[in-house]
Structure 1
Amino acid sequence: MKTPIVIQLQEMASDSQNHLPDLLRKALLISSKLGLEDFKSWVISELNGYQSEEDIPRYRIIGSQLKVINPYHGYQPFIIEDGELARVVSEVKIFESVESLQHLISKSNSKNQLTFPFAPEQKAALMRMQGGFAQLEPTRIIGSNQVKSVLEQVRTQLLDWALQLEARGILGDGISFSAEEKAIASKNQSAISIQNFQGVLGDVSGGHISQSMSMTVTPGNFDSLAKYFRQEDVAEEDIKSLEKAITEDPEARESGAFGPKVSNWIGKMTSKAANGSWAVSVGAAGSLLATAIAKFYGL
């Protein structure tokens, strides 16, 4: 007698020596035959990698150590005084497929550390926040054990799902399912599911700036800059704070090399984007602000 495919999946998921992509492919076969589309979509994402930040499950969002790359001393801590901004910026959303993650772990260095770089516009914003002339490239470092934990959670989810199927009398005959089993699966779509908690920690891996360079910011005209920022939903009190910072700072001579008070203002606005009090993604915020201010300075 052939072992039911659901029991096969349980046995495979219970043994950590079994190749995780093989488990996922078996789960893909089961979910396809039962018409469990939500679960099938999750399996395909784990096999092929995630395409959208909105689809990233919470277990694929992990914390990292923020570092800057010092050309003489190697990795050095990158301190962001705003705790909320530091927390959000240090979050790493892992898009890669399980196969890629397994390969990444196998190739990790002797210190078992992995490096996750920032998107270009986010990197530029973080470098501007450092102020001064020694602006060093920031990056995020995580332990390979954190990636292993992601993979183990996928394995556990598969086992739990297979147990849910068995609890409802869905086992299969070899690799086939009866009409009754398919009907049970159809009626229990939401119950036979995975804890696919969505990431709600903000956009920390870049994103497109929703701005047009047709913005009418006239060099030296703060009213035009204020008007542009109002269109981007910047609060009136924040606009007034920027005006004060521009007045008190020396005039910028090159793009990105703003005075300390303007740079601090950009940092505070980026923090607001990170905690949701300004409706712009944190990845886009730094570039949006810096581009407009640079245009005001005529840079």
Structure 2
Amino acid sequence: MSKLVIELQKDCINPTISYTTLFQKAYFIARKLEQKEMADFLRNEIDGYGNQEIPSFRYINAIFKAKSANGPWKPIILEENDPLTKYQHIPVKQGVPEIESFFNSNNEIITAPIYSELHKVFETLEPSLSSKDIRAHFSKHQYKTILETVKRIISDWSIYLEQKGILGEEYQFSQQEKDIAKTMTIMNFYGLSINGSNVIGSMTNSSATINNNNSFDFNALKELITKIETDLEKAKNIEAEKIDSLKEQIALLKKSVEEQNETSAIDLLKNIASGAISSGIWSIGTTVSAFLSSLN
């Protein structure tokens, strides 16, 4: 007989299933199980977050570039500790269908206009930018990181359901299965509860709020970066665009180390872990994940 939860697990490893279809099926299961926290999380992922706070994995890192009417795009170089660097950490609030369409586009680099208030800040710091078009530029593969992170949460959740004996035979869940589901605490890949402020976090402006940890070891992070780069050089049969995307994240991570920016470093490490795993570079994925786990 068909078991809905097992079907979901198969969909998680089926590369032909779209992210939107997968997330919709997971939402269907969460609703049938009356598992509100998971259903709410998936509904936000599918529809978008609007004015709501977002998970930390939905932040991407961008580079600002400016151009005159007929000139080329030129990067805006921001000095260390420049107050504008915080705006390079951009929240992605769109729903999964829109994110998936961006990722499936032919453009490797996505550009997004900045809002007028930020343009005025640039003008104040550099008057020559007043007449130029300023946009945020970022690799579309950062969207893949968002999609893969949610897929991994769904995969872990489906396995958790199976371990609890919740299978959904013939697309139906027994009352016993529903009762068990209601007592479950849903955990995401990073070991944080999906509901409440633990995973959604307290986000203000463009930065995620992460508890400062005085024991954060930037020297250890430098050693980790060296290992990541070594493993990346050894990686074989990996698409060049995926390698380039990881190198871009590593470059941003090095900058975070120079600036002693713990918040940015942690978010970039999550991006690198997810990107490495989705690319099949398990040595990097597991090493970075272990480093992140040691911070908890």
Q: TM-score range by the shorter chain?
A: 0.5 to 0.7
* AA partner of residue 107 (structure 1): S
Cα gap change, 1:134/1:22 in structure 2, threshold over 3 Å: closer, same or farther?
closer
Cα gap change, 1:9/1:84 in structure 2, threshold over 3 Å: closer, same or farther?
farther
Q: Deviations over 1:253-273 (max 9, x none)?
A: xxxxxxxxxxxxxxxxxxxxx
State the match for 1:123 in structure 2: 119
Q: Distance in 2 between matches of 1:157 and 1:103?
A: 21
Q: Deviations over 1:144-169 (max 9, x none)?
A: 11112211222111111111111111
Unaligned regions of 5+ residues in structure 1, if any?
A: 206-274, 276-299
The root-mean-square deviation of aligned C-alpha atoms, in Å, is: 2.4
State the match for 1:202 in structure 2: 204
Unaligned regions of 5+ residues in structure 2, if any?
A: 208-262, 264-296
Q: 2:92 aligns with which of 91, 94, 98?
A: 94
Q: 1:182 aligns with which of 178, 181, 185?
A: 178
* AA partner of residue 157 (structure 1): I
Q: More helix per residue: 1 or 2?
A: 2
State the match for 1:74 in structure 2: 72
TM-fit CA distance, 1:143: 0.5
State the match for 2:285 in structure 1: none
Where do 4+ consecutive residues of structure 1 move more than 6 Å?
none
Q: Distance in 2 between matches of 1:39 and 1:94?
A: 20
Matches within 5 A, 1:198-237: 198-200=200-202, 202-204=204-206
TM-fit CA distance, 1:108: 3.8
Q: Distance in 1 between matches of 2:10 and 2:82?
A: 43
Check the 8 A contact 1:21/1:98 in 2, yes or no: yes
Cα gap change, 1:201/1:69 in structure 2, threshold over 3 Å: closer, same or farther?
farther
Check the 8 A contact 2:30/2:38 in 1, yes or no: yes
State the match for 2:215 in structure 1: none
Q: Distance in 2 between matches of 1:125 and 1:32?
A: 45
Q: Distance in 2 between matches of 1:92 and 1:161?
A: 28
Highest CA radius of gyration, 1 or 2? Answer: 1
Cα gap change, 1:88/1:133 in structure 2, threshold over 3 Å: closer, same or farther?
closer
State the match for 1:113 in structure 2: 109
Matches within 5 A, 1:59-70: 59-70=57-68
Q: Deviations over 1:79-101 (max 9, x none)?
A: 23352634311011111111111
State the match for 1:57 in structure 2: 55
Check the 8 A contact 1:185/1:192 in 2, yes or no: no
Check the 8 A contact 1:53/1:199 in 2, yes or no: no
Q: TM-score, normalised by structure 1?
A: 0.61
After superposing the two structures, state which structure 1 stretch, 135-144 or 87-96, moved more.
Answer: 135-144
Q: Distance in 1 between matches of 2:142 and 2:203?
A: 18
| Partner-residue secondary structure (3-state), 2:73 | strand
Q: Deviations over 1:36-55 (max 9, x none)?
A: 1111111111111111251x
| Partner-residue secondary structure (3-state), 1:104 | helix
Cα gap change, 1:133/1:10 in structure 2, threshold over 3 Å: closer, same or farther?
closer
Q: Distance in 1 between matches of 2:52 and 2:178?
A: 32
State the match for 1:136 in structure 2: 132
Q: Distance in 2 between matches of 1:199 and 1:45?
A: 14
Q: Distance in 2 between matches of 1:129 and 1:53?
A: 31
State the match for 2:161 in structure 1: 165
| Partner-residue secondary structure (3-state), 2:204 | coil
| Partner-residue secondary structure (3-state), 1:150 | helix
